[in-house]
Amino acid sequence: MTNIQQQFKFPSIYNFPPFFTRQPNEQTWLAQRQKWIQLILDYSRFNRVWILSDRGKILSQGNVDEDDEQAYSKLNELNIQSDDDDDDDDDNRGIFVNSRVDRSLDVSTINEIFKEMSEKGDATYVSTPQNKKTKTRNFNSIYINWNRSEDWASMLLEWVEKTGQTGTVLTLYEIANGDGSIGQEFHGIHPKILENALEVLVKRGRAQVLKDELNRVAGVKIQ
């Protein structure tokens, strides 16, 4: 396990070998999925993981700079490799492999869990650029919603009101990385997750999003 994993206290079931095998009984499998989903959410919250792949790779973590394209380049590279490589490398499956009990979760099972997370709102699929070889898009990585968009939106609204910035145009950088948001849970938030939260405020009639000439979100006025 990595140092990051050692800092997180895994539940006792994580060291139960059958936890890493998809159970054939539907009711047992349902309970198993729920435990995996809760583990992924707890683990991601503890380590501030924003993007996780079905190979267990953390593609974005911690404080993310708005202009940092590194997470996206890593994501695209991983997805392209996944198309051409059918060999599952346990060493790359992070949370989904437990060397202590010599078990790992199958990638197809991980994707079943990701699918349920997406359907429940616990995750959002990352849509990558179309693969030049297969002419398809990959959906094997997820943004993890360890806080729902509605929760992030409420935090943003409360912060803006408390700091007297209601009606002020703020850039995404000011919100996510500015000195004024230090100490807030959303400080360093992934820009995509921040945009999802702002969309909630727009739908509530509490925000107006400003876009640049490339139709990218440049700023927001929360009111």
Q: What is the CATH number of domain 149-222?
A: 1.10.10.10
Does the pTM of the predicted model rise above 0.85?
no
Give residue 213's Cα distance to chain centre.
28
For 129-158, how does the pLDDT look when each residue is reduced to its tens digit (9 = 90+)?
555 565 555 678 999 999 999 999 999 999
Helix/strand/coil percent split, the chain, to 5:
50, 15, 35
3-144 and 149-222 share one CATH topology?
Answer: yes
For 83-109, how does the pLDDT look when each residue is reduced to its tens digit (9 = 90+)?
444 444 444 678 999 999 999 999 999
pLDDT mean over 189-209: 95
8 Å CB contact between 157 and 222 = yes
Domain locations in the chain?
3-144, 149-222
CA distance 82 to 140: 9
When the pLDDT of each residue in the chain is averaged and rounded to a whole number, the result is 85
Helix segments in the chain, DSSP class H: 3-7, 26-47, 70-84, 107-120, 149-162, 172-177, 191-203
β-sheet bridge partners, residue 49: 61
Q: Choose among 90, 119, 116: nearest CA to 105.
A: 90
What class has domain 3-144? mainly alpha
